[in-house]
Amino acid sequence: MSTINKNVSIDARPKRRTTAKNISSMKGGTPIVCLTAYVTPMAARLDKHCDLLLVGDSVGMVLYGMDSTLGVDLDMMIRHGRAVCRGAKQALVVIDLPFGSYEESKEQAFRSAARALSETGASAVKLEGGVEMAETIRFLSHRGVPVLAHVGLMPQSVNSYGGYGAHGRTVDEWQPIIDDALAVQEAGAFAVVLEGVAEPLARKITDELKIPVIGIGASSACDGQILVTEDMMGMFAINPKFVKRFAEIGLAIEGAIESYATEVRSRSFPEEEHTYKMVGSNK
C-alpha cells in the first residue's frame, strides 16, 4: 500500500528536550501536561503541546485489544518506545516498565530499565509501587535512571484489587497511599503519578510532597495531569469516569471510512486527479 502522502512531517531539526530535572522544577507552578503515545505520527502531533509523553503499558489495551496491561512485555514496550522517540523532539519521553520486568529484584529492574533507555532513546522509566518499591527506585536513581513513580490505583495490580475501582474514598484508606507517595519521593523519584484517588487525598498528597504529583483521576489539585490520548479523543465507546472527551475522533474515523467505502463501491473514487497518466500524454 502507498505511504507517499503523509499529513504529519517529522521535524528532524534538534530541539532542547525536556528533562526529568525540568519536570521536577515545575512543582507548584504551571500544571504539567502529559499524555500517552505509542506510535511516531501521534508522538509528533503531541510533542509541541506536552511536557511529558508516556509510552504506557496501556498500549496492550489500546492498540492490541488486551483486557489488562499484564500481557505486555519489555520487547513490546521497546518497540513502541523507539517509535515515539522518532516523533518526539521536545517532550520528556518516559517508558513504562511492564509487569514482571522489575518486581523480582532491584537488579532485574536495572537491567530492564537499561534496555528500555538504551534501545529506545527515552529519558526515564515509570514503575508502579510505593513502599515496597522504594529500594528499587533508590537503586535505579543512584545509577542514573530517572524514575517516575506510580501510586494509588495501580493497573498492574488489578488482580489483587479485584478491579479498577478508585482508592482513598474513606479516610481509613488514606495512610497507606500517603506512605507510598512519601516513600517514592524519599527514594529519589523525580515525580509521581497518582491514579484513581479521591480529591481530598490528592490535594493532601500534592501539598505534602516536594516532587510533582501528576494526576489521573485524582482531580485538578495535582501538579499536572495525564490521560490516555485515545480516551480523551473519543476513540472508544466507553471511558472511565475521570476522562473528558475532548474530541470524537472515533466517530470521525467511522464517517471517513463509510464515505470511502461508498465511493469505492460506486466507482466514484479514485477520480481523475488521483490517477496517473501516461508519460507525454494528456490523456
Q: How many CB atoms lie within 10 A of CB 152?
A: 27
Question: Per DSSP, what are the bridge partners of residue 160?
Answer: none
Rounded distance between C-alpha atoms, residue 114 and residue 108, angstroms: 10
Predicted local distance difference test score (pLDDT) of residue 13: 43
Predicted local distance difference test score (pLDDT) of residue 164: 59
Binding-site residue numbers for 3-methyl-2-oxobutanoate are: 57-58, 96, 126
42 neighbors 229 (Cβ within 8 angstroms): yes
Local structure of 197: helix, strand or coil = strand
Q: Which of 103, 107, 195, 230 is catalytic?
A: 195
Terminal C-alpha separation, the chain:
25
Single-letter amino acid, residue 143:
R
* 208 belongs to the catalytic site: no
DSSP designation for 280? T
Predicted local distance difference test score (pLDDT) of residue 4: 43
- Which CATH code is given to the segment(s) 20-249? 3.20.20.60
Binding-site residue numbers for Mg(2+) are: 57, 96, 128
Mean pLDDT split into 10-residue runs, the chain, 283 residues: 47 71 98 98 98 97 94 98 97 98 98 98 97 98 98 80 68 94 98 96 98 96 97 90 93 96 97 90 62
Q: C-alpha grid cell for residue 165?
A: 475501582
**Angle (deg, nearest 10), helices 106-120 and 134-141:** 50
The pTM assigned to this predicted structure is: 0.89
Rounded distance between C-alpha atoms, residue 281 and residue 222, angstroms: 65
Domain boundaries, the chain: 20-249
Predicted local distance difference test score (pLDDT) of residue 5: 46
